[in-house]
Amino acid sequence: MDESGVTQQSRPALWTPDGPDLVVHADNLAATALLPDESFRIVYLDPPFNTGRVQRRQATTTVRSSEGSRIGFKGASYETLKGITHSYDDRFGDYWDFLEPRLIEAWRLLDAQGTLYLHLDYREVHYAKVLLDGLFGRESFLNEIIWAYDYGARATRRWPAKHDTILVYVKDPARYWFDSAEVDREPYMAPGLVTPEKAARGKLPTDVWWHTIVSPTGREKTGYATQKPLGILRRIIAASSAPGDWVLDFFAGSGTTGAAARALGRRFVLVDESEQAVAVIRDRLGTDGTSFTVLR
């Protein structure tokens, strides 16, 4: 029985691993609650937020603990930690409350070899890392990937912010899947310092990824405002899954995760509550081999 009081056996069959690729038009908490435990090799979250109010409150979070007084799904015990009370931009406070239950679901849905990729900008990443250390365990932290790009407006009173952060956590640090041989290679910055053979082959990427944004006039552009480049998702999926594995995206947006998964021979479940997003995904991926479901 999970924290909502619903047993795994009583969940409706929204999806099964032998079914088709799936796009769900729904709130992601409602949709993911209907998915079975440990079914996905990759869970990718690229969450939006922006409320912009200022309030005063005390932040709390729930973490796994052998001495905790609360019992959650799979019989795990938890304790609630209280943070410092202070005044702050409500975007962060709301974001903390918004993100935590979705990350708990992500942990439940990852299989034993699974990996979480949480895609954020610089303003939220430090809050999320503390939360993930509590939920997954610090030993499950794998990487902090910096996606650097060079496009858009330029600040003149500070260093221009031109990067996103992707936090990478694994379900089991002793068993997670990572295949560096399948990852695309990059040119050496100083090819003259390596052999011609190495220069021709290229080098494995580090945790800093230089990759352009989606060109406003390019063929990849769908018209969706927060579309992420296909190359970023291809690298994630190629490294942390094998052909035939299932990939889950909580905030599907323009469907880039599905497009990358399909190109690499992976299966996917995409969730988004936006009608615009689902329409873009339908146009991009079509209905051939993909099921579309609306939850009310």
Per-residue pLDDT in tens (0 to 9) along the chain, 296 residues: 344 433 344 445 789 999 999 999 999 999 999 999 999 999 999 997 543 444 343 444 555 555 555 555 455 555 554 443 333 344 555 677 888 999 999 999 999 999 999 999 888 888 899 999 999 999 999 999 999 998 777 888 999 888 999 999 999 999 999 999 999 999 999 999 999 999 999 999 999 999 988 888 788 988 888 889 999 999 999 999 999 999 999 999 999 999 999 999 999 999 999 999 999 999 999 978 899 998 86
pLDDT of residue 63: 55
Residue 179's Cβ-count burial label (10 Å; 0-12, 13-18, 19+) is exposed
Residue 253 DSSP code: T
pLDDT of residue 274: 92
Distance CA 145, CA 150 (A): 16
Q: How does pLDDT run across 52-86, given as a tens digit for each residue?
A: 444 343 444 555 555 555 555 455 555 554 443 33
Residue 99's Cβ-count burial label (10 Å; 0-12, 13-18, 19+) is buried
Taking phi over 0 as left and psi of -120 to 50 as alpha, with beta for the rest, 59 belongs to beta
Please name every residue paired with 40 in a beta bridge, in sequence order, or none if there are none: 110
Please name every residue paired with 249 in a beta bridge, in sequence order, or none if there are none: 44, 270
Residue 212 CB contacts under 8 Å (≥ 6 apart), including other chains: 149, 150, 151, 229
Which structure tokens are listed for 232? 């970023």
Q: H or E element: which one contains 258?
A: helix 256-263
Q: How does pLDDT run across 77-134, given as a tens digit for each residue?
A: 555 544 433 333 445 556 778 889 999 999 999 999 999 999 998 888 888 999 999 9
Domain residue extents for the chain: 8-51+91-294
DSSP 99-120: HHHHHHHHHHHEEEEEEEEEEE
Strands 54-64 and 77-89: antiparallel
Q: Domain 8-51+91-294 adopts which CATH fold?
A: Rossmann fold (3.40.50)
pLDDT of residue 153: 73
Give the Å distances, CA to CA, from 268 to 107, 242, 263, 278. 17, 13, 11, 14
Neighbours of 290 (CB within 10 A): 18
pLDDT of residue 133: 95
Please name every residue paired with 50 in a beta bridge, in sequence order, or none if there are none: none
Distance CA 150, CA 160 (A): 10
Please choose, from the candidates 92, 162, 85, the residue with its C-alpha nearest in 3D space to the C-alpha of residue 131: 92
Strands of 13-132, DSSP E: 21-25, 40-45, 54-64, 70-71, 77-89, 110-120
Residue count of the chain: 296
Residue 232 CB contacts under 8 Å (≥ 6 apart), including other chains: 147, 209, 211, 256
Distance CA 287, CA 225 (A): 23
Which structure tokens are listed for 104? 């708990």
Distance CA 101, CA 77 (A): 16
